[in-house]
């Protein structure tokens, strides 16, 4: 096994990790261990011994061998709340087929020809209602939810989508709770909200199924799912489609909205970058919305002269690579200009992995970039702003700012 430290009985090094990630500077947790044990080390977090990789080649190996030597591994709370038919939990040939269906739904031609118009329209719709002080994180979440509802099921924002969003927020809260209904009210509430979300979406699926039987076809993800063969000549059931949609809502929501907010935060703190707006890659690198991925080994595996036994957890840390001076010069500063130079833009694919890679590469990676760029374009051209309060970035339980990033906005040209 790679060298390392198991920490205290049962809780291991979990509390060290959490207290580091609850601060704006979680790097020392990784730095001290890498300095002592090397970039691949053993620790014990969230109830299990875990191999932690801060090495880009090992991370690439883990990502590429998904489904062969490793399988993805989510905590119990997330698996239950997502539903067993979600893309994130699918395996084998069904995963492969559904992953490529999702990728094809959000490829660049589809974005350009179909999705971009609504992305632009809905972002402008929300920004038009801004007056003085806004909580940017809240606004970014409303926008992202509205976009996803449109892309998945064709709905424009209305009371129904807003009430669904409220239930949906309770589901997300449950992701980071202990999955025991008797002990955790958050988890209990999340399970109930998940049932309500599923009921609401099932109704939509049934209605759309009837429409599709009458020959009416809509050009959204739900339309594609209703047409898709589920194997053995059958179509997907309502439950399967609902699980699939819930997972897509989850996957694109926190991630895109947090990156939007942090892009604006970093821009605010780096005014020169505003002029050039080369910030998307750099925000993805520094913010590390998905700091890395958990996998479980499916057989004994030899990496770097160590043997990781079958059934062990492995964490491939993207953050550790993104924040390492060996891979990015002065890695811990926000420097969007690094992407302008030949070298920055051509960094090896295994070192810059905000969207993962291999068979589970994020199917929303192009969509997220386009959404971010359109959002930044509109906020920069329509508003000037300043932070309303000092707000700190934290990385646990998710990447966020503590006060939802309040800003005072001022319209640049009120007539526009």
Binding-site residues, in ranges, read 362
Closest contact distance (angstroms) between CB of 29 and ligand HEM is 20
Known binding positions for heme: 362
Closest contact distance (angstroms) between CB of 181 and ligand HEM is 26
By CB under 6 A, tell whether 290 contacts ligand HEM: yes
Looking at 169-177, 234-242, 250-258, 339-347, which segment touches ligand HEM (CB under 6 A)? 250-258
Q: From CA 182, how far away is CA 218, in angstroms rounded? A: 43
By CB under 6 A, tell whether 293 contacts ligand HEM: yes
Applying CB under 6 A, which of residues 362, 370, 374, 393 lies at the interface with ligand HEM? 362
- Nearer of residues 64 and 188 to ligand HEM, judged by Cβ: 64
By CB under 6 A, tell whether 111 contacts ligand HEM: no
Contact 74, 294 (CB under 8 A): yes
Q: From CA 354, how far away is CA 356, in angstroms rounded? A: 6
- The CB-nearest residue to ligand HEM is 364
Strands, E assignment, 100-163: 133-135
Applying CB under 6 A, which of residues 174, 223, 344, 356 lies at the interface with ligand HEM? 356
Applying CB under 6 A, which of residues 44, 208, 322, 360 lies at the interface with ligand HEM? 360
Which among 360, 335, 279 has a CA at the least distance from the CA of 70?
360
Residues 66-95 that bind ligand HEM (CB under 6 A): 72, 87-88
Looking at 98-106, 193-201, 204-212, 341-349, which segment touches ligand HEM (CB under 6 A)? 98-106
Q: Which residues contact 338 (CB under 8 A, 6 or more apart)?
A: 282, 328, 329, 344
Q: Which residues contact 350 (CB under 8 A, 6 or more apart)?
A: 56, 57, 59, 60, 357
> Can you spell out the DSSP letters for 179-229?
S-TTT-HHHHHHHHHHHHHHHHHHHHHHHHHHHHHTT---SSHHHHHHHSE
Applying CB under 6 A, which of residues 289, 370, 379, 407 lies at the interface with ligand HEM? 289
By CB under 6 A, tell whether 106 contacts ligand HEM: yes
Residues 128-187 that bind ligand HEM (CB under 6 A): none
CA angle 232, 238, 242 (to 5 degrees): 115
Bridging pattern class, strands 400-401 and 313-317 = unpaired
Size of the site for ligand HEM (CB under 6 A): 25
Applying CB under 6 A, which of residues 42, 50, 255, 261 lies at the interface with ligand HEM? 255
Residues 230-249: x where in contact with ligand HEM by CB under 6 A, - otherwise, as a string: -----------------xx-
Which among 310, 319, 250, 290 has a CA at the least distance from the CA of 77?
250
Applying CB under 6 A, which of residues 39, 83, 157, 252 lies at the interface with ligand HEM? 252
By CB under 6 A, tell whether 367 contacts ligand HEM: yes
Residues 256-275 that bind ligand HEM (CB under 6 A): 256, 259
By CB under 6 A, tell whether 379 contacts ligand HEM: no
Q: How many residues does the chain have?
A: 416
Residue 346 CB burial class (10 angstroms; 0-12, 13-18, ≥19): exposed
Contact 22, 396 (CB under 8 A): yes
**Would residue 311 be called left, alpha or beta, if left means φ above 0 and alpha means ψ between -120 and 50 degrees?**
left
- Helix (H/G/I), strand (E/B), else coil: 271: helix
Q: Which residues contact 301 (CB under 8 A, 6 or more apart)?
A: 69, 70, 307, 308
Instruction: Give 49's Cβ-side CA count (13 Å radius).
Output: 14
Residues 383-412 that bind ligand HEM (CB under 6 A): none
Closest contact distance (angstroms) between CB of 352 and ligand HEM is 12
- Nearer of residues 98 and 191 to ligand HEM, judged by Cβ: 98
Q: From CA 287, how far away is CA 340, in angstroms rounded? A: 19
Closest contact distance (angstroms) between CB of 188 and ligand HEM is 26
Closest contact distance (angstroms) between CB of 138 and ligand HEM is 17
The residues of the shown chain that bind ligand HEM, judged by CB under 6 A, are: 72, 87-88, 99, 102, 106, 247-248, 251-252, 255-256, 259, 289-290, 293, 354-356, 360, 362-364, 367-368
């Amino acid at each position: 096994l790679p060298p390392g430290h198991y920490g205290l009985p049962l809780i291991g090094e979990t509390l060290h990790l959490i207290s580091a990630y609850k601060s704006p500077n979680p790097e020392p947790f990784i730095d001290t261990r890498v300095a002592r044990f090397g970039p691949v080390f053993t620790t014990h977090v969230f109830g299990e011994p875990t191999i932690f990789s801060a090495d880009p080649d090992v991370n690439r190996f883990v990502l590429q061998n998904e489904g062969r030597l490793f399988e993805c591994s989510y905590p119990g709370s997330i698996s239950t709340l997502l539903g067993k038919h979600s893309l994130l939990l699918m395996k084998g040939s069904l995963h492969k087929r559904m992953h490529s269906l999702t990728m094809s739904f959000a490829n660049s031609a589809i974005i350009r020809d179909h999705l971009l118009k609504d992305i632009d329209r809905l972002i402008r719709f929300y920004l038009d209602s801004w007056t003085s002080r806004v909580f940017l994180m809240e606004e970014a979440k409303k926008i992202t939810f509205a976009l996803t509802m449109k892309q998945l099921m064709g709905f424009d924002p209305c009371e129904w989508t807003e009430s669904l969003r409220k239930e949906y927020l309770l589901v997300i809260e449950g992701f980071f709770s202990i999955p025991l209904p008797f002990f955790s009210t958050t988890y209990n509430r999340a399970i109930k909200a998940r049932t309500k979300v599923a009921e609401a979406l099932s109704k939509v699926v049934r209605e759309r199924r009837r429409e599709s039987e009458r020959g009416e076809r809509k050009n959204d993800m739900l339309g594609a799912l209703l047409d898709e063969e589920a194997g053995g000549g059958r179509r997907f059931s309502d439950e399967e489609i609902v699980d699939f949609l819930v997972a897509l809502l989850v996957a694109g929501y926190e991630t895109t909205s947090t990156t939007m907010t942090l892009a604006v935060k970093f821009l605010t703190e780096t005014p020169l970058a505003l002029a050039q707006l080369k910030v998307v890659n750099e925000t993805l690198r520094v913010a590390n919305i998905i700091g890395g991925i958990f996998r479980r080994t499916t057989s004994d595996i030899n990496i770097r002269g160590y043997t990781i036994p079958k059934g062990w957890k492995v964490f491939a840390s993207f953050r550790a690579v993104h924040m390492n001076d060996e891979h990015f010069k002065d890695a811990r500063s926000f420097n969007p200009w690094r992407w302008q130079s030949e070298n920055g833009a051509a960094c090896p694919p295994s070192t810059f992995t905000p969207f993962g890679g291999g068979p589970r590469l994020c199917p929303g990676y192009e969509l997220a970039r386009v959404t971010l760029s359109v959002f930044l374009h509109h906020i920069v051209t329509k508003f000037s702003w300043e932070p309303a309060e000092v707000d700190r970035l934290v990385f646990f339980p998710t990447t966020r700012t503590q006060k939802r990033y309040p800003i005072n906005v001022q319209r640049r040209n009120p007539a526009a």
